[in-house]
C-alpha cells in the first residue's frame, strides 16, 4: 500500500508525488491498489476529532507562537481550563493523563513511557486547521488495516502518543519496528534540511546494495550490480533485522 502524506498543504510542492512514485518504481518497489492521498480523507479526520471532543479528550489552545516559545519543553496545559472563545483562532490539543504506555518494539525491545509527563498535551489539529501528523497517521493506519509498522528510529518517540490515540479511538494497535536512520559523520539524519543529496534513481541497484550493507545484511559480493528485482528478492529471503538490535543510527561512509 502506498500513502502520500499531503495534509500539510502549504508545504506541498506540485509534482513531488509523481517524482516519489517514479523513484519507487525505479527501485522495483511496487504497490497494490490506488495511491492513497491523505487529503481525500478529510471527513474521517474530522469525525475522529469530533468523537474525541465529545468525550472531552480535547481542548482549544489559543497560545501564540511567542507564548509557546517560553515553554520549549512540555506544554504546561495553559489553556486546559479556559472557556471556549468562538472568535479566536485555536489549535486543538489532546489531554494526556499520566498513563503508562508499554509496547514491545520488534527491534528496540520493550518501551515504557508516560505520555502525560514525557510529552504533555499535544496538538491534534493545528491553528491553521491542518490535522496534525500524530492523529492523521493513527487514522490512516486504521483505515488501511496496517498491522506492521516498520519505520525510522526518529519516530520511536511518537509511538506512545499514537498508541494512546488508538486506545481512545477504539482501534487495534499495529506491531512496531523502528530501524536505524542513516546519519552523516556529524550525526545528522540525511535529509533535505541538512543538505543531503537526493536518492539517485538512475543507479537503483548500486544504492540498494549499499543500503543492505549499511543495514548489516551482509549482501554477498556477487550480488553487486545485479538487477534490482534480484537484489530485492535476495533481501526478502535473507532479511535479518536482529543484527541491528537496539541501534538508533548507522553512519554513511
Minimal distance, residue 108 CB to Zn ion, in Å? 33
Minimal distance, residue 51 CB to Zn ion, in Å? 22
Among 20, 35, 15, 31, smallest CA distance to 140 is for 35
Minimal distance, residue 75 CB to Zn ion, in Å? 7
Contacts with Zn ion, residue ranges (CB under 5 A): 61, 63, 78-79
For Zn ion, the closer CB: 79 or 212: 79
Minimal distance, residue 167 CB to Zn ion, in Å? 24
3-state helix, strand, coil in the chain (%, to 5): 40, 20, 40
What cell was used for 184? 552523516
For Zn ion, the closer CB: 63 or 149: 63
What cell was used for 149? 509498522
Q: Please check whether residue 127 is in contact with residue 91, taking contact to mean a CB–CB distance below 8 angstroms.
A: yes
Q: Tell me the residue ranges of DSSP E strands in 62-147.
A: 91-94, 100-105, 109-114, 122-125
For Zn ion, the closer CB: 78 or 146: 78
For Zn ion, the closer CB: 126 or 151: 126
Distance CA 136, CA 113 (A): 21
Amino acid at each position: 500500500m502506498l500513502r502520500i502524506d499531503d495534509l500539510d498543504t502549504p508545504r506541498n510542492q506540485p509534482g513531488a508525488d509523481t517524482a516519489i512514485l517514479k523513484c519507487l518504481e525505479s527501485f522495483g518497489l511496487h504497490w497494490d491498489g490506488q495511491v492513497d492521498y491523505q487529503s481525500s480523507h478529510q471527513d474521517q479526520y474530522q469525525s475522529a476529532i469530533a468523537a474525541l471532543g465529545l468525550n472531552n479528550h480535547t481542548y482549544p489552545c489559543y497560545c501564540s507562537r511567542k507564548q509557546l516559545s517560553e515553554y520549549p519543553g512540555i506544554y504546561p496545559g495553559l489553556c486546559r481550563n479556559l472557556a471556549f472563545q468562538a472568535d479566536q483562532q485555536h489549535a486543538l490539543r489532546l489531554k494526556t493523563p499520566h498513563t503508562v504506555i508499554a509496547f514491545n518494539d520488534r527491534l528496540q525491545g520493550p518501551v515504557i513511557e508516560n505520555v502525560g509527563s514525557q510529552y504533555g498535551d499535544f496538538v491534534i489539529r493545528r491553528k491553521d486547521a491542518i490535522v496534525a501528523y500524530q492523529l492523521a497517521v493513527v487514522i490512516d493506519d486504521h483505515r488501511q488495516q496496517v498491522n506492521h509498522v516498520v519505520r525510522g528510529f526518529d519516530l520511536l518517540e511518537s509511538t506512545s502518543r499514537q498508541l494512546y490515540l488508538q486506545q481512545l479511538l477504539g482501534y487495534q494497535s499495529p506491531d512496531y519496528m523502528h530501524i536505524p536512520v542513516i546519519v552523516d559523520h556529524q550525526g545528522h539524519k540525511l535529509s533535505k534540511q541538512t543538505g543531503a543529496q537526493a536518492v539517485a534513481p538512475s543507479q537503483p541497484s548500486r544504492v540498494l546494495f549499499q543500503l543492505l550493507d549499511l543495514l548489516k545484511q551482509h549482501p554477498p559480493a556477487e550480488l553487486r550490480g545485479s538487477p534490482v528485482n534480484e537484489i530485492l528478492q535476495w533481501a526478502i529471503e535473507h532479511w535479518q533485522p536482529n543484527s541491528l538490535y537496539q541501534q538508533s543510527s548507522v553512519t554513511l561512509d
